[in-house]
Structure 1
Amino acid sequence: MRIGLLTTGESRLWCDRLVRGLPQHEFELYAMHHEPGPHPEAGAERAVVAHTAELWAPPEGRARRRPGRRARRRFAEHLGRLMTGVCAADGPAFTDGLHGLAGLARDHGGLGAALRSEPALRVVEAACRVPGVSRTAAAATVADLLAFTDELERALRPLSLDWYESLGAADVCHAAGGGVPALPGLVAKRFFGLPLLVTEYGVPLRAHYLRGPHGPAGRPAVRALLAGFHQRLAAEVYREADLLTPGNAHVRRWQERCGAPRDRQRTVYPGMEADRFATVGEATEQGDPDTVVWVGRAEPAKDLIGLLHAFAEVRRHAPQARLRLFVTGAARAYLADCRSLAAQLFPDEAADAVSAGESPVGFEELGGPEAPTAAEAYGTGRIAVLSSVVEGFPVGLVEAMLSGRATVSTDVGAVREVVGGTGLVVPPRNPKAFADSCLALLKDPERAQRLGAAARARALELFDVEQTVAAFHESYLHLVAHRAPAPAATPFAAPPEARVPGHWTTPTWAAAPEAAV
């Protein structure tokens, strides 16, 4: 079976596990990158062919000719319909406009120049001035309209790609993400009837809502218009997808709120390679009982500031406790703030620890001499923590569970669903509750050990990569088996002699001339 796999940079590791786990299928990779830089493709050595699109820059040189007057009029009509859907929450208008623009992009080699033109700006402005739109959108200034039109052009760049003839020849299109990453699959279904499978482990619409007000796109009118666009696009993807595989109940609920049919949803957890954590998870020695471990990217969403305040409370009641932070990547300014706060919260302890060779709070880079792998990082302590205020599917938490560690986590995203009853869950942004839960496990090592064993058993049962791969294999077979057949010729619509070269007298009962081959 031939699978057209739509990927992004964020989904590379997951796609790699899928491609390697299903050698019986042929994967044709279609990777979309929104930022410059080296982008190794997932499982590229096993793919039939890998297509790459650098969407961080406008496509160049694809237009075959300058669109004529009729094409420009059709473009204005389709863009106007799309903007009616954005501003007035009109689903059918958005659908007509989106697929109309896709058809124009196919016929004329792209839409980049048209979407960056002054006529496009006038269409957007006219849609915002129609009576009945929201006050925020109606108050958009020229600068707001320019910023939104620029963002709209970026979002619609997948329509101008030259992938569709190749993608339409696949048996199934699998989009590793909803919203803009699923646009090629949405178009391929409309053009070729290709079954569309959409997998989501996070919610793009939710990520847009949580995006901070930075730059021109952060102004209220621009944010309102972009929210309308992404909401209508999410609803269109969920309505058209033949099968939706949310990665957890949190994502599933978001999809349902956007109109996803329940009968087309099937929860499939992201698979983790449990073998990488077997040595640590099954070891007799369970790490330092006084050490708390955090592993992840140092950024504001992880709330390391709150974690440091919570650990300061822990140190007041358990002076022997240590916190080790293994950083996989960082927003440099935020990491510097965290280091500065740690020095302020533990000045005396840090000074004494320097002479003793041991610090109460340690910032270490994952891959260093003491923790070259995530499994070994979790193995340095007995308790693993997650302090995020925003989280989709907590991959790091699953890794801690596979490592057999008791966990303390904030109740965000899919955390409660992942942990079940095998760890302690506290409200986010509550350092006191977080500290109390950590102290409860530090003072009761036997309970921590029991919870760690239960956590590993739960992770092996629910989050092993083999179960995920098997679930997608079944999904592919289901979609191909239920694919709508291509239109066939009507039996006996033309007499047999109509297929033989030569001049024949057409009897009155024969088919119309256009039916002959």
Structure 2
Amino acid sequence: MRIGLLTEGGYPYATGDQRLWCDRLVQGLAQHEFDIYALSRSARQEDHGWIPLPPQVQRVRTAPLWAPEDDGRTYGRRERRRFVGHFKELAAAVCGEGDGFADGLYGLAELAHERGGLYAALRSELAVRVIESACRAHGARRTVRAAAVPDYLAFADQLERALRPLSLDWYGEDGLGAVDLCHAASGGSAALSGLVAKRFFGVPLLVTEYGVQLRAHYLAASDGELTAPVRALLAAFQGRLAAEVYAQASVITPGNTHARRWQEKCGADRAKLRTVYPGMEADRFAAVGEAVGEGADSGDPYTLVWVGRIDPAKDLIALLHAFAEVRKKEPLARLRLFGAPVREPEAATYLAHCKALAAQLFPDEAADAHAVGTNPVSFEEIGGPEAPEVADAYASGGVVVLSSVVEGFPISLVEAMFCGRATVSTDVGAVVEVIGGTGLVVPPRNPRALADACLALLRDPERRERLGAAARARALELFTIEQNLTAFRGIYLELISHSPVQREAVNEDGEPLPFAHPAEAYVPGHWAGGAPSKGRTPRWADGPGLVAAAAGTAGEASA
């Protein structure tokens, strides 16, 4: 089958989110064809280029969300009236009055397709007036009513970027209208293209969220750069969009129970939700994990290891204070912090602050047999040409620590489990679900509890070994690439079995391939969600759609 993979800020670009699991998905399901529809987030991301693509990727179409895209189109009087009508429905729903969000959204999508885009209309004075009227309406939220002209302009700018997928030339029988299934790698703008394909072509939509897009938006909007009315408007828009995505998706695959709860609160039907854990490369850590299983050296028993991205959300400050308590009771203890190379100014500032705190808490101590004239805390890089490998970082200690205050799916924790390491973690995100009783979990922002848990494992080698073995077994059962691919392989087949075929199968010579599709694929009925002619012919098509032709072929066969 042909899969339309929808991404935002990730695959096939060499940097960004979801690129790793998308690449593993495409590589692992080589029996299918993939068309990639990617939205980029920055010029820097585009400059880094793409990762190598396998032959099953048939085409790649990209569009930027980061730069203005003036299409040069202007609307006549009739089109302006249509735009105002649809935009009023959407704006009223965002401001808290009415339920016309979906009608307004799809009306704008149809107008964009017919007239070449929405850029000028969404940034026009007319759009600003519609936003102002919606904000001042009687049923608008209190925070929204406080908006002023700069807020209207800022929201119009953000809204144009979020709705930019509606104006792309990705739709039609040479684009998303020709795929058998749309698989959105996240919610938000990536899934917006899937909504259009579902609405006008009947293409089934699968949505995967390893980190809930709406939650990420809430966290990003709290940085203080936007005013309170603009944040309220954007949050309301993203909430309405998430609800529509969940309503139209045939299946939603959260990456963990934490994401699943968010989706349910945003209106997702429980019957559509299926947890699919992200697949990770167990082979990278096989040597370390198997060595522990065979009774070999399991790392320095006095060393705590932290691996991750240098970021305030990881709360290294609390970890350093906790280690100060550990050091008082276990003078031989060491803490090794392995982080990816720091590039962002904010991360560099945070790293400098952590190093200053470590120097203050642990001045150079007298030489001993364990640490000869060195500070018991070390900051080390991974991923560089002379830096240790990730597996070697985990192998260097006896206990792996995670001290985050915000976490989605804890990748570093799963890597430690693959390595057969006992872990101490804070109770955030999906940590408890991932650990499943194979490690110690403490409240976040509690250095004393973190220190006590670390001491308990440092002083009990048998317990460390027992927890590490159980953690490795759990990781191999739940978090491998194989289990991820098996889940999506089954979901793809299930969805396509409930949907009419999109295109005729042909052989190498371009001739029709007999018996390529099961006979029931052409038969309208309850299992297919209605007659094919209703689901797959786009509203704006100039002639009969592919399924109409397929239905005719089936009719001839019946005759």
Relative to the length of structure 2, the TM-score reads: 0.83
- 1:508 match: none
User: Structure 1 pair 350/124, CA: closer, same or farther in 2 (3 Å)?
Assistant: farther
1:320 counterpart residue number: 332
Deviation per residue, 1:114-159 (Å, 9 max, x gap): 1111111111010000012211110112122222221111211121
* Aligned twin of 1:289: 301
> Map of 1:115-130 to 2, 5 A cutoff?
115-130=122-137
Candidates 56, 75, 83, aligned match of 1:75: 83
On the 8 A contact 1:58/1:157 being kept in 2, the answer is no
Distance in 1, Cα, partners of 2:385 & 2:123: 51
**Change over 3 Å in CA distance of 1:66–1:211 after alignment to 2:** closer
Identity level (%)? 65
The answer (yes or no) to whether the contact 1:89–1:232 under 8 Å persists in 2 is: no
Contact 1:385 1:407 in 2 (8 A): yes
330-339 or 220-229: which moved more? 330-339
Describe the SS at the equivalent of 1:404.
Answer: coil
Paired AA for residue 239 in structure 1: A
Q: Deviations over 1:135-184 (max 9, x none)?
A: 11101121222222211112111212211221121110000011222111
Q: Is the 8 A contact 1:353 1:359 kept in 2?
A: no
Partner of residue 465, structure 1: 481
Choose from 312, 326, 329 the match for 1:300. 312
Structure 1 position 184 matched with structure 2 position 185: no
Instruction: Pick the aligned partner of 2:63 from 40, 53, 65.
Output: 53
Aligned pair 1:415/2:422, yes or no?
Answer: no
Aligned partners of 2:319 and 2:403 also within 8 Å: yes
Partners of 2:246 and 2:367 lie apart in 1 by 56
Per the TM alignment, residue 359 of structure 1 is displaced from its structure 2 partner at its CA by 2.7
Q: Which of the residues 214, 222, 247 maps onto 1:205?
A: 214
Partner residue in 2 for 1:22: 29
Residues 353 and 36 (structure 1 numbering): CA distance in 2 closer, same or farther, change over 3 Å?
Answer: farther
Distance across 1 between alignment mates of 2:326 and 2:357: 16
For normalisation by structure 1, the TM-score amounts to 0.90
Task: Please give the alpha-carbon distance, in whole angstroms, between the structure 1 residues aligned to 2:330 and 2:195.
Answer: 56
Question: What is the match of residue 4 of structure 2?
Answer: 4
The one-letter amino acid paired with 2:117 is G
For these two proteins, the number of residue pairs brought into alignment is: 485
Deviation at 1:354, TM superposition (A): 13
Return the letter of the residue paired with 2:299. Answer: G
SS at match of 1:349: coil
Give the aligned residue type for 1:259. Answer: G
Matched, 1:173 2:182: yes
In structure 2, what is the equivalent of residue 430 of structure 1? Answer: 446
Counterpart-to-counterpart distance in 1, 2:336 and 2:237: 42
Contact persistence 1:245–1:265 (CA under 8 A): yes
> Deviation of residue 3 (structure 1)?
0.5
1:373-415 Cα offsets, whole Å, 9 max, x none, are 2111111111111111111111111111011111111111110
| 2:205 aligned residue | 196
* CA 1:87–1:388: 2 relative to 1, 3 Å: same
Tell me which amino acid in the other structure corresponds to 2:399: I
Q: What is the aligned partner in structure 2 of residue 509 from structure 1?
A: none
Task: Please list the CA deviations of residues 87-129 of structure 1 after superposition, one character each: whole Å capped at 9, or x if unmatched.
Answer: 1164x41111111111111112211221111111111010000
| Aligned-partner Cα distance in 2 for 1:355–1:415 | 32
- Contact kept? 1:147, 1:216, Cα under 8 Å: no
CA distance in 2, matches of 1:322, 1:89: 58
Q: Equivalent of 1:101, from 91, 99, 108?
A: 108
Aligned-residue CA RMSD in angstroms?
A: 2.0
Contact 1:12/1:41 (CA < 8 Å) preserved in 2? no
Give me the whole-angstrom Cα distance separating, in 2, the residues matched to 1:350 and 1:149. 62
The aligned residue for residue 392 of structure 1 is 408
CA distance in 2, matches of 1:43, 1:103: 35
More deviation, 184-193/364-373: 364-373
Which residue does 1:275 correspond to in 2?
A: 283
SS in 1 for 2:106: helix
CA positional deviation for 1:257:
0.8
- Contact between 1:2 and 1:25, CA under 8 Å: does it hold in 2? yes
Give the 3-state SS of the residue equivalent to 2:321 in structure 1.
helix
> Aligned partner of 1:162: which letter?
D
**Conserved 8 A contact 2:119-2:164:** yes
Match of 2:118 in 1: 111
Q: Is the 8 A contact 2:65 2:162 kept in 1?
A: no
- Runs of 5+ consecutive residues of structure 2 not aligned to the other structure: 11-16, 500-527, 535-559
Following superposition of structure 1 onto structure 2, how do residues 448-459 of structure 1 map, counting pairs within 5 Å?
Answer: 448-459=464-475
Cα deviation for residue 44 of structure 1 reads 2.2
Deviation track 1:273-329 (CA, whole Å, cap 9, x = no partner) reads 111110011112111111111111111111111111111111111111111111124
Once the two structures are superposed, residues 242-288 of structure 1 have per-residue CA deviations (whole angstroms, 9 ceiling, x without a partner) of 11001111111111111111111111000011111100111121111
- Please say if 1:135 is aligned against 2:157: no
AA aligned to 1:486 is: P
* Whole-Å separation in 1 of the counterparts to 2:86 and 2:105: 7
The yes-or-no answer on 1:373 pairing with 2:389 is yes
1:7–1:181 contact (8 Å) kept in structure 2: yes
